Amino acid sequence: MPLVEDLSPFKVGMTGTFKGQEFKVVGRLRVVTHHGYRNYWSLKGDGEYPWLVHSFGHYALLKPFPGVVSKNELRKAKPGSSNRMDTGGTFQVELADKDPVFAAEGEVMLPLPVPYAFEIEMGREPSDKVLVLIKADADPVCFHGIMVEYADLHFQEPLQLAQWT
């Protein structure tokens, strides 16, 4: 799919800091499903999070999940249900989506298993986030991270609202 510009406040080339660690936005994977779209922004820098996800006006920093997730456990995942993760306790399923369409730009520092067939987003108070990407012929790939506010990312020369395209 061709890459479509959207209302994201990020662009490839922007730099920022999170908790004193610098990063640069070097690429983007745009994922479109019947629920809408989300942008996975690839980050390069000295921080622990290689992905910044922007979806529905929310932001999350994600890194590979250290635990294992069974496809069998995920078969019952639907919004509102709970799912126990190996090392992270119980998470609430917030979104389950299938058949995404992908577009990309720039550089990717940590590959995602694209194309994947199913995506599950889970959360836990106060700000934990888990994202599970599932391919038919492979084990699920999981990412764990935290929800953040835009202001917490301390972007240098941020885009003004009129520049968001």
Residue 28, C-beta contacts closer than 8 angstroms, at least 6 positions apart: 3, 10, 12, 39, 40, 41, 42, 104, 105, 106
Joined together, the tokens standing for residue 137 give 């012929």
Asked if 119 and 33 count as a contact pair (C-beta separation under 8 A), the reply is yes
CA separation for the pair 94, 109 (Å, rounded): 27
Give 160's DSSP letter.
P
Return per-residue pLDDT of the chain as tens, 165 residues. 667 778 788 999 999 999 999 999 999 999 999 888 999 999 999 999 999 999 988 999 999 987 667 777 787 889 999 887 766 678 999 999 999 999 999 999 888 889 999 999 999 999 999 999 998 888 889 999 999 999 999 999 877 665 654
Give 89's DSSP letter.
E
Q: What is the pTM of this model?
A: 0.90
pLDDT of residue 85: 76
Please give the distance of CA 9 from its chain centroid, rounded to a whole number: 15
Partners of 123 in the β-ladder: 92, 129
